[in-house]
Amino acid sequence: MAIPTTPPSGLRDFLPDQVASRSRAVETITRVYRSFGFEPVATAAIEDLAVLQGLGGGENEKLIFKIMKRGEALERAAAEKSELADLGLRFDLTLPLARWYSKHGSQLPHPFKAFHLGPVWRAERAQKGRYREFTQCDVDIIGSDSWGAEVEVITAILAVFGAFGLQGVKVHLNDRGLVDQALAAAGVPEEKRGAVCVSVDKLDKIGRDAVIAELVASVGRPAADALVKTLLAEGGVAADPLDKIIAAVKALVPASTIAVDPSLMRGMGYYTGPVFEFRHPSLSGSLGGGGRYDKLTEKFGGPSTPACGGSIGFERLMLILEETGKAGGRSAPDAVVTVFSDELRARSLEVGAALRAQGLSIDVYPGTGKLKAQFKYADQKKAGYAIVIGPDEAGRGVMQVKALATGQEQALTLEEARALIAGKR
């Protein structure tokens, strides 16, 4: 039986053009986040299950890719019919960040502004724009209880969308504190509030009628009717600090659209205050989101530390950029240096190194073959120029530089070639 050449469902391989466009997107996001004063952090991709379970991860805790115990520990667990796994792949970046901060916070500025980019994994059904392995691009402010932290996070993410020329993004805003008040007023028991929030959070996925049916089944008709008038209300009334957040975001990003959405829950149970989502008309789900999680670090044994963060759904962002032609393609070399013969390969390598030392991107043909095949290689790489150094050129200290777009060719010295190629960049 042949070994599969395609990755498992929900995971992907990427071609050079795709990797190049994704790398440029990451560079843009990083540049914008740095411009707001956020510092880069990194956490382990694999966490103890204790970090991933029971800390407010909501429905995502059911989607953990678990890693089985090893050796004798696995055999003992199997014999005892106990948990076979002790580790798991992270399903978001917030829980790992809270764990990381609980360990390293004393070494950091206070408050601390972090940005965190990396892959996460969820064992869910793959669909368009939703994969089992995907990248998140988070910004977080830890140690501030000011509503200004929400404003910084929201405007930093809007600045990223602006850097890509992405228009039509709308910010939906709510407050989990107001949600808790509505749940209490409706008489929803404490033990059922998490399930109610999960149901309401499905509004844009399954529709209003289906959500109401779930609420009736969960908490009964009277409570469901009360929640329809609050959490499913059209529009909403802003309350401090939501009104301050809205006013500040509109002042800082005049073209932005931001409004209160009472049905916005965010699925994570660790949120304690304002929550927000970024939505785009081309997507059925969100383009990103986040909120305030003031009590998460204390679950790791440390003091309660106020925190707020947001994340960009990188795969969905790339989907929009690709569909609108803004993703770009492969980063082409400025020139390809051909290899006339094996005897002259060292000279081609020297020219390539000399041009690179002057800031150019130079690809020296790595194989053997006729010049026709090497020119085809340069075309496939979308290089601006091809350079040929035959015995005559090597003897005269020059090279033939061919502009691939026009076919124009001329003999130039190293410095003349550098000036020509640099002017074309």
Residue 358 sits in a domain of what CATH number? Answer: 3.40.50.800
Q: Compute the Cα dihedral for 19, 21, 26, 31 and give only its sign.
A: positive
Helix (H, G, I), strand (E, B) or coil at 220: coil
Which residues lie closer than 8 Å to 421 by C-beta, 6 or more apart? 334, 335, 355, 360, 384, 385, 401
What share of the chain has pLDDT > 70, as a percent?
97
DSSP annotation of 2: P
Q: Does 163 map to a domain?
A: no
Which residues lie closer than 8 Å to 416 by C-beta, 6 or more apart? none
Domains of the chain: total = 1
| Structural domain for 371, as ranges | 335-424
More confident residue, 409 or 268: 409
Chain centre to alpha carbon of residue 322: 15
388 falls in which pLDDT band (50, 70, 90)? very high
pLDDT at 125 over 90: no
The three state secondary structure string of 108-140 is CCCCEEEEEEEEEECCCCCECCECCEEEEEEEE
Q: Does 281 map to a domain?
A: no
Hey, what amino acid is at 256? S
pLDDT for residue 185: 86
Query: What mean pLDDT do residues 56-73 have?
Result: 88
pLDDT at 137 over 90: yes
CA-CA distance, 203 to 160, in Å (whole number)? 27
pLDDT at 75 over 80: yes
List Cα–Cα distances, 48 to 85, 87, 203, 301, 349, in angstroms.
9, 4, 33, 15, 49
What share of the chain has pLDDT > 90, as a percent?
70
Q: Does 393 map to a domain?
A: yes
pLDDT at 371 over 70: yes
List Cα–Cα distances, 265 to 148, 181, 235, in angstroms.
21, 13, 15
Query: What mean pLDDT do residues 73-102 have?
Result: 95
Structure tokens at 50: 């204790």
pLDDT for residue 425: 43
pLDDT for residue 234: 62
**Placement of tokens 């600090």 in the chain:** 241
Q: Does 155 map to a domain?
A: no
Q: Does 413 map to a domain?
A: yes
Q: Does 253 map to a domain?
A: no
More confident residue, 232 or 138: 138
Structure tokens at 100: 């990381």
**Digit-coded pLDDT (tens) for 212-242:** 888 888 888 988 888 888 888 765 444 667 9
Q: Does 256 map to a domain?
A: no
Q: Give the chain's mean pLDDT.
A: 91
DSSP annotation of 55: S
pLDDT for residue 235: 53
More confident residue, 197 or 393: 393
pLDDT at 395 over 80: yes
424 falls in which pLDDT band (50, 70, 90)? low
Helix (H, G, I), strand (E, B) or coil at 239: coil
Phi, psi of 171, rounded to the nearest 5 degrees: -95, 125
Adjacent-strand bridge partners of 318: none
Angle made by CA atoms 27, 333, 117, in degrees to the nearest 5: 15
Q: Classify residue 170 as left (phi > 0), alpha (psi -120 to 50) or beta.
A: beta
CA-CA distance, 147 to 422, in Å (whole number)? 48
**What dihedral do alpha carbons 205, 206, 212, 217 form, nearest 10°?**
-110
CA-CA distance, 157 to 143, in Å (whole number)? 20
Helix (H, G, I), strand (E, B) or coil at 287: strand
CA-CA distance, 60 to 305, in Å (whole number)? 23
Structure tokens at 285: 């789900």
pLDDT at 2 over 70: yes
pLDDT at 381 over 50: yes
Q: Whole-angstrom distance between the N-terminal and C-terminal Cα of the chain?
A: 50
**Digit-coded pLDDT (tens) for 310-343:** 999 999 999 999 998 888 777 789 999 999 999 9
Q: Does 376 map to a domain?
A: yes
pLDDT for residue 239: 62
